[in-house]
Structure 1
Amino acid sequence: MLANGTKAPDFTLPDQNGQPRKLSEYLGQRVILYFYPRDMTAGCTKQACVFAELYPQFREKGAVVLGISKDSVASHKKFEEKYGLPFVLLSDPEKTVIQAYDVWKEKKMYGKVSMGVVRTTYLIDEQGIIVKGFEKVKPAENPADMLGELA
C-alpha cells in the first residue's frame, strides 16, 4: 500500500471508450480510485453496481470514482454497458499503474498461490494527495465505506 500523505502517482490510461485519462485532470476534486481484479465477476460486479448506485452521492460530495483493472478497453465497455456504470473504468493491461499503486500481489485461493490484483481503494484529495488506502476491501461494503470517508 502507498502511504497516507504521499502524492498519488499520476498516470495516463485509456478509459472504456479508448480515451486517454490522467489522474491529474481530476485535481480540484476528490477521487475514489479503486482497483479490482476482473470485469463481470461476481465480487467486481457487486462492487461496481454499488458504486453506480451511490454515484450521485459521491458527486454531491465533490468526488469522482475511477475503477482500474487489467482488463481491456473492450471488456470495460461491455461491463459499463451491461450494468449502466456512470463512472470511468480504466484499462491497465501492462499493470504499470496497478504496480505503481502496489496492488499486484501474491494471492492464495483454495491453497493455490498466484499473482493478482488485491482489491484496494484509495481516497485522494483535491491536491492529489493520498488521504487513506484500504486493502482487501469487501466488494459490497466498500462503496458505502468510501462515501462515509467523504463526510
Structure 2
Amino acid sequence: MMNTLGVGDKIPLFILKNQYGNDVDIADYIGKNILVIFFYPKDESPGCTKQVCAIRDSFADYAGAGALVFGINSGSVASHRSFVEKHQLPFMLLSDPGNRVLKAFGVKNVLFLTGRETFVVGLDGRIAFRYRALLNAINHNDQILNFLT
C-alpha cells in the first residue's frame, strides 16, 4: 500500500457510483469547487452516523465555503441510498467496492476497520488539508470547518 496522500499531493482521478447508481467522475468537479472527500468505515455504524449527521447539520457552512462533500466507503449503492434517505444527507455517498479509491488515497486500516480520513481538495486538484481520526468521528466535521472558514 502506498503512503497516505498529503498536503500538496494531486488526488487520483476516479469514477464511482453514487447512492442512486449514477457514475460520478471526480474530474468533473476539480477546478469548479473545493472538494471535501471523507472515507468512513460503514453505513449506519454509530460513529459513522454521528459523522455524517454532523456534516449534514453543518452543510450550509460547507456550501458557504464553496465546498462539495463526498463520502466514500465500500458499502453498496443500496446501502448508501438507504443511509442518505434515513438521515436526509444533502451530499453524495460513493460506493468503492474493493476499496480501490481508499487504497489510492493511502487511507490506512485500523485493526479490522477501514480507516476514517478526510481530505480537502483545492481548485487545483491538490490536497489542501487532511485529517485522520478513527474513533473521534464527529471531530472530522469540526476540523474541516475550522480549515474551510
* Counterpart selection for 2:23 from 20, 25, 48: 20
Are residue 9 (structure 1) and residue 12 (structure 2) matched?
yes
**Which residue of 80, 98, 101 maps to 1:97?**
101
2:67 paired with 1:63: yes
Whether 1:75 and 2:90 are equivalent positions in the alignment is no
- Counterpart of 2:126 in structure 1 is 129
Superposition TM-score, scaled by structure 2 size:
0.92
Q: CA RMSD in A?
A: 1.1
SS at match of 1:21: strand
Give the C-alpha shift of residue 104 in structure 1.
4.2
Tell me the residue number matched to 2:88.
84
Contact 2:133-2:140 at 8 Å conserved across structures? no
Q: Deviations over 1:97-130 (max 9, x none)?
A: 011011142x23xxxxx3x311000010011111
Runs of 4+ in 1 over 6 A off after TM superposition: none
AA of the residue aligned to 1:82: K
Q: Work out the CA distance in 2 between the residues paired with 1:80 and 1:36.
A: 14
SS state of the match for residue 85, structure 1? Answer: coil
8 A Cα contact 2:7 2:130, kept in partner: yes
Report Cα offsets for 1:40-73 as digits up to 9, x if no partner: 0000000000000111110011001100010000
**Unpaired stretches in structure 1, ≥5 consecutive residues:** 109-113
For normalisation by structure 1, the TM-score amounts to 0.91
The alignment-based identity, stated in percent, is 34
Partners in 2 of 1:56 and 1:13 — Cα distance?
A: 25
> Residue 60 of structure 2 aligns to a residue in which SS?
helix
- 1:111 — aligned with what? none
Which runs of structure 2 are paired with 1:108-123 in the superposition (5 Å)?
Answer: 108=111, 114=112, 116-123=113-120
Aligned length: 144
1:10 deviation in Å? 1.0
